[in-house]
Amino acid sequence: MALKLLCLPCAGASATMYLRWRRLLPRWIEIVPVELPGRGSRLGEHFVEDFGTLADRLCDEQAAVMRGSSGGPQAFALFGHSMGALLAHGMAQRLRERGERLPRALIVSGSAAPSRRDTSRLQQALGDDQALAADLRRQGGTPDEVFDNAELLRLTLDVLGADYRVCDSYRHVPRPPLPVPVHVFAGRQDEIAPDRLAAWSLESEAPATLDWFDGGHFFVRQQEGAVLTALARHLSAVGAPARAAPGAFA
């Protein structure tokens, strides 16, 4: 049986960012891009700008995927980059609260742990369109064509602003660690301090693992091959015959 990997996008993006992974990963990993309201195939829907509401809604919308239809339990895992990592963790917490089956693994990329988030940059970027566009440009990863096209920039800023409000609405509530392995991906040139990444170890009963990649916040694009190799390696321990065990936080 294939392991379904539900992939949540970063702020300002569509889940189509994961579509090409379908032909790059082993066949036993089935990529399920999780599109959020207000972009991509859901462009006509209203944004959901509250973190708790969005996490609950995503659990409802993806229930059939996570439950499976073959009669047996469906193996699945959650992956998210940046805002997507926070949402993936939020979904896992809500699944536990509901008494639902949990993911085989939680893979979080380009994100500080929930207990160590710094929202000062978000609040500054939400000041106005100029501040939001400046933050978008500072992060890199956005083609110049977006900034040169007024209509495309407007659409991008609307999505980014809504997503930043989602992140800003998040409030950390200490909870027992999840009985799920947590694997952390990070960029060596990203601005997230190592101690804020290491705090993900508090979110799992098992030792959390950390994989470093060259690149900034969007290392998942810059080092796609290496990222997918690490992704398959971690998932092989829960969805395919076991391979070498990944390293843990020092």
Active site residues: 82, 217
| Count of Cβ atoms closer than 10 Å to residue 64 Cβ | 10
CA torsion, ordered 195, 217, 176, 59, to nearest 10 deg: 180
Amino acid at 189: Q
Find out whether 216 and 137 touch, Cβ atoms under 8 Å.
Answer: no
Give phi and psi for 182, each to the nearest 5: -115, 125
- Which residues in 164-190 are b (16+ Cβ under 10 Å) and which e? bbbbeebeeeeeeebebbbbbbbbeeb
Tokens of 39: 């972009």
Calpha distance 137→80 (Å, rounded): 21
- Largest interatomic CA distance in the chain: 52
